[in-house]
Structure 1
Amino acid sequence: MTADFVQVATATQTRDAAVELAQSAVRARLAAGAQIVGPVVSVFWHHGEFGSGEEWQLLLKTRADRYTDLEAHLRAHHPWNNPEIVAVPILAGSAPYLDWIRQTTEPEQAS
């Protein structure tokens, strides 16, 4: 089984920043859809210091072949210098849902 689709995760410090990233990625057809979850508690090491805080998790669904473009978009528009951007394969899903992702993330053709 190959993973033609991925779920991409990132996080932001505010809900508004997560909504802006989700909207820009979906409008650009880099993701078919996104869910924003939060606030969530995050525990981490950052610049050599232990910390914790609240974040808003953003989960985006896309085709595996669109990941590189989605990552570049998230990096360019993310408020953090080095955000978490990770992808996990979607190994199975309902055919109509996966077709929706495939169709929705098709790059727009220039006229």
Structure 2
Amino acid sequence: MAIYQVSTATPTREQAIALAQSAVRARLAAGAQVIGPVTSVFWHDGEFGEGEEWQLLLKTTDARYPELEQHLLAAHPWQNPELAAVRVVAGAEGCLRWVEEMTISNGI
């Protein structure tokens, strides 16, 4: 089973925490960190911009990723949010096992 670290960002800390809580409670992610504020520099709707965001990092498995993506897109405050998943190629065995165990859809 592959482990992913999934990232997105929100305009407020409260929104990032709400997404983290709902994803972890549903066991779509084993855990999450909210980081911020961070400064983002970007192009959006043809305009150059800079803004403050709160980054959200979640840990999940390849089996749970499709549901996590669907959940985040449905609950996200932005219409077309950044959402990326990076496969974890190495990590502490106990941590990787924890992600697998915590994302079992029927719970433990």
TM-score (norm 1): 0.94
- After TM superposition, list the pairs within 5 Å mapping 1:1-111 onto structure 2: 4-108=2-106
Compare 100-109 and 25-34 and name the one that shifted more.
100-109
Q: Secondary structure at the match of 1:93?
A: coil
The CA deviation string for residues 83-103 of structure 1, in whole angstroms up to 9 with x for no partner, is 001000101111111111000
The list of structure 1 runs, each at least 4 consecutive aligned residues, that deviate by more than 4 angstroms after superposition, is: none
* Identity of matched residues, %: 61
Pairs aligned (count): 107
Report the residue type matching 1:70 in the other structure. L
State the shift of 1:66 in Å: 1.0
Q: Measure, in 1, the Cα distance between the counterparts of 2:65 and 2:82.
A: 14
TM-score (norm 2): 0.96
